[in-house]
Structure 1
Amino acid sequence: MNLKEFADTLDEMAHGSTREEFFLSCVDELSGRLLAKTKKRTPVGPGVFRLADDAEVSRGRRLYSSQSKQDKKGALHWSIERTHKTAQDVKLIKVQPGGTLRRMWRATPAKGGSRKYEARVFNPMEYASYVEYGHRQHVGQFVPILGKRLKRAWIPGQHMLQNSRNELNKEMPGILQRRLNAWLGGRLK
């Protein structure tokens, strides 16, 4: 490569469309890494269960019998009544696996131009911010699904996204340096 070709290549790299593609691909990689780290840190719940029907229980009647009714807005409400059988006769069937919060993490494609490039990593679940940052609760309130009363006024957050972002910020210079070296090496040969 002579000096004129080298100067033209440098000018194309500084002002051409390949520079734009390079920056967008870097942002896409960083958002993908952040997404993977955040998913790994997100806690997974046990899932959603229902009580088995009498036909599904091999040893007779259930500990609880359940009934559902629909309100004016169409929402289903379940009432559970205790029977005289023991907990050994209860059969639960998993209706939905846990991990909905983990599965819902998303990243937008990179966009931007000239000086600012960005991609968003987010979770559309309505309770994601409460798990991330923590939340208040009413001490002494009975929660039927847990079968007990609340004891703590504040539940601390898990900080999945924040901790992942802090970890990625430490790794970012090395990642970008490797990508830049590979891009320059491929262009200047």
Structure 2
Amino acid sequence: MARSNVNMNYDGLKKLRDQLAKIDQTDEFFNACAKELAARLLAKVIKRTPVGDYPKSTGKTGGTLRRGWTAGQNSNARAYAESLSVHRVGTDFVIDIINPVEYASYVEYGHRTSNHKNWVEGKFMLTLSEKEIASMAPRILERKLEDYLRRCFS
């Protein structure tokens, strides 16, 4: 019976093992994806939020509702989204985006006038922004996934 000398080089398999270990850190990736989508949503909703226009004699300034999206902080949408916490619900990664201004829902969905005879239409700033982000999300996430995999396998 003939014998053969076969030398095996396992360096490629070891490298693949190490690269696959990097992919195992998926929670960080999913958190980053959630924050990316939240930042884009906030940027859109802030632009759509109307600012009140008051006569100078009232002493009021507009923009309370718009500032409410970032909890009154003077930061941009991306910086504020990075500060938000991501929590996991089943297989979903969730970020709660709220506007704590008490009349936010009335501006969003509409309301009766004070004399109860007319209706003020809602601005749907959050609803419309959510729909836009939902349609953009597959492309955004696909790009982020490609970058993530490229970093893991480089």
TM-score by structure 2 length? Answer: 0.76
Q: 1:113 to 1:155 in 2, by over 3 A?
A: closer
Aligned length: 132
Query: Which of the two has greater helix per residue?
Result: 2
Offset of residue 116 of structure 1: 1.9
Q: Secondary structure at the match of 1:166?
A: helix
The one of 57, 61, 72 equivalent to 1:97 is: 61
Offset of residue 154 of structure 1: 1.3
**Cα distance per residue 1:106-142 (max 9 Å; x no partner):** 353322277221101111011000000011225xx3x
Match of 1:123 in 2: 99
The one of 20, 23, 26 equivalent to 1:10 is: 20
Q: 1:116 to 1:9 in 2, by over 3 A?
A: same
Q: Secondary structure at the match of 2:93?
A: strand
The one of 28, 53, 56 equivalent to 2:35 is: 28
What letter is aligned with 2:62? G
Provide the C-alpha distance between the structure 2 equivalents of 1:37 and 1:103, rounded to a whole number of angstroms.
13
The one of 153, 159, 168 equivalent to 2:118 is: 153
Offset of residue 13 of structure 1: 1.3
Percent of paired sites with the same residue: 41
TM-score by structure 1 length? Answer: 0.63
Provide the C-alpha distance between the structure 2 equivalents of 1:114 and 1:7, rounded to a whole number of angstroms.
28
What letter is aligned with 1:27? A
Contact 1:47–1:99 (Cα < 8 Å) also in 2: no
- RMSD across aligned C-alpha pairs, in angstroms? 2.2
Q: 1:130 to 1:176 in 2, by over 3 A?
A: same
Match of 2:73 in 1: none
Contact 2:51–2:63 (Cα < 8 Å) also in 1: yes
Offset of residue 8 of structure 1: 4.1
Offset of residue 12 of structure 1: 4.4
Unaligned runs of 5+ in 1: 52-94, 142-149
Provide the C-alpha distance between the structure 1 equivalents of 2:20 and 2:90, rounded to a whole number of angstroms.
17
Provide the C-alpha distance between the structure 1 equivalents of 2:144 and 2:69, rounded to a whole number of angstroms.
26
Contact 2:53–2:62 (Cα < 8 Å) also in 1: yes
Unaligned runs of 5+ in 2: 1-10, 71-80
Match of 2:140 in 1: 175
Match of 1:134 in 2: 110
What letter is aligned with 1:131? V
Contact 1:48–1:98 (Cα < 8 Å) also in 2: no
Query: Which of the two has greater strand per residue?
Result: 1
Match of 2:57 in 1: 50
Q: Which structure's CA Rg is the greater one?
A: 1
